[in-house]
Amino acid sequence: MVNERIRHGVADPYGVGDLVVQGALLSGGAARPGHFRPGTSLRAIVDQLCTVDPGVDVSGFTSGVLRNGVAAVWERGWQPRDLVHVAGQDPRPGRLAELARLVVADEAGRTGARYRADAAWTEQLQDLGAFIPPAQPTVHHWAMTVRRPTAEIWTEALKLLGLVLQLPPLEMLGPCPSTWDNDRSTASRFVPNTVEPKMLARIRALLAKAESTEFTEEAEALTAKAQELITRHAIDSVLIDDGSDQPPSIDVTARRVHIDAPYADAKATLFDAVARANGARAVWDREFDMATVVGVTMELDLIELLFASLLVQATRAMSVEGSRAGAHHHSRSRAFRRGFLSAYASRIRQRLAQAGADAIEEAGALHQTALVPLMQQRDQAVGAAFAEMFPHAGRRRSTRVDAAGWRAGVRAADRADMTMPG
């Protein structure tokens, strides 16, 4: 079962109803604290802000409050992708996430993150397009860009501030900004040991084609080829010999993987199966739909890619099974789909474990190398790092699933192509 962390005491992730003090501050001082009373509704605060600051943060005061809040979030273990991901869980997707991305860009630009951060952090900024801050104050720039009613803009700004203020601490995955040196050469020490770029490019291209094609057989062939490349690279990396008599060093690290709704819990179970099969350990954060995975640095990229490949297969197979069930079946219900994904993950876990054991035995015989002790050393190193980061990781409680969906998921997992290349 997947490890899971469930937080308590954060019933409202935005917490905007009682942002009385912040509501006054967001006007840049134009609104006096006396304008708001304890328990004032968000709507009342927004109405007042529309009156005292209809231009929406021309002074940049609001943007500064948000920027400082984001900087404080980094010191609590959050990273750029995490914040934008959680902001994207707003009932109106895209709005809060885009504002969050702009605030991240503003904070990064003003603190020189592009030149001070480690490779993992700068990669996130690049992926988010958050290297260049807005030319105008962030909130005002956003207001001018989206051109929506003033009340909506102020509401989103307050909601993002409420979110930032209430985000709980996360485990530190690397140096936080307050510890960065001003010299970029220092940050380069934290460049992760990743998969060879050409290999990654080939796998990503295969998966992109598999997701875009309308032909099931072509998609399955492309996905199978991607899995073959991933498996081959994983075995080859274990067999690398530096020629020394010393035990090989094992570089263990952690990263967070964001899993989108719907059925995020069931997808997290599939991710846990892939992580376990590759010697990694994962913790699922249900509140924010994020998994933190601890494993050998080079293998984390492989884990993400293999998970993406299997998720593509599962999604396609679920659609096919639903069509076979017929129009009168409840195959399109949420219960069926959740049951399908849960069963698919359970069966894939078994198949991946067996495939891994067979691959180790075959490679050991071929190269006359005892791989089992090497794999045990890896598992021990990962287990120690995981226990240090998550000393109180709990076990996820089982949930009821749809029986028809479960059986369909097992059949689909049995058909998944995970064979080693000849």
Mean pLDDT of the 80-106 span: 88
Q: Please say if the pLDDT value at position 332 is more than 90.
A: no
Q: Which stretches within 112-137 are classed as H helix? A: 113-116, 119-128
Q: What is the 3-state secondary structure (H, E, C) of 245-274?
A: CCCCCCCEEEEEEECCCCCHHHHHHHHHHH
Other beta carbons less than 10 A from residue 247's beta carbon? 9
pLDDT of residue 388: 92
Residue 188: helix, strand or coil by DSSP? helix
86-98 average pLDDT score: 81
In this predicted model, which residue has the larger pLDDT, 358 or 337?
337
Q: Predicted confidence band at 125 (pLDDT cuts at 50, 70, 90)?
A: very high
Q: Are 297 and 252 in contact (CB under 8 A)?
A: yes
Contact 393, 283 (CB under 8 A): yes
**Cβ neighbours of residue 111 closer than 8 Å, sequence gap 6 or more:** 71, 177
CB contact set of 175 (below 8 Å; sequence gap of 6+): 118, 190
Which segments of 197-333 does DSSP mark as H helices, in order?
197-212, 216-238, 264-277, 297-325
Picking from 64-68, 70-74, 163-167, 403-407, which range would have the lowest pLDDT averaged per residue?
403-407
Is the per-residue pLDDT at 187 higher than 50?
no
CB count, 10 Å around CB of 409?
A: 30
Cis peptide before 177 (omega within 30 of 0): no
Tell me how far apart the alpha carbons of residues 334 and 373 are, in angstroms, rounded to a whole number: 44
Q: Where are the domains of the chain?
A: 3-171, 197-415
What is the model's pLDDT at position 75?
A: 95
| CB within 8 Å of 94: residues ≥ 6 apart | 88
Model confidence at 348, in pLDDT bands (50, 70, 90)? confident
Dihedrals phi, psi of 4, to nearest 5 degrees: -145, 140
Confidence of residue 422 (pLDDT cuts 50, 70, 90): very low
Residue 228 CA to chain centroid, in angstroms? 24
Q: Name the band, by pLDDT with cuts 50, 70 and 90, for residue 170.
A: very high
Residue 420 burial by Cβ neighbours in a 10 Å radius (0-12, 13-18, 19+) = middle
pLDDT for the residue 299: 84
- Whether 281 shows a pLDDT value over 90: the answer reads yes
18 pLDDT tier (thresholds 50, 70, 90): very low
Residues 6+ apart with CB under 8 A from 106: 63, 67, 133, 134, 138
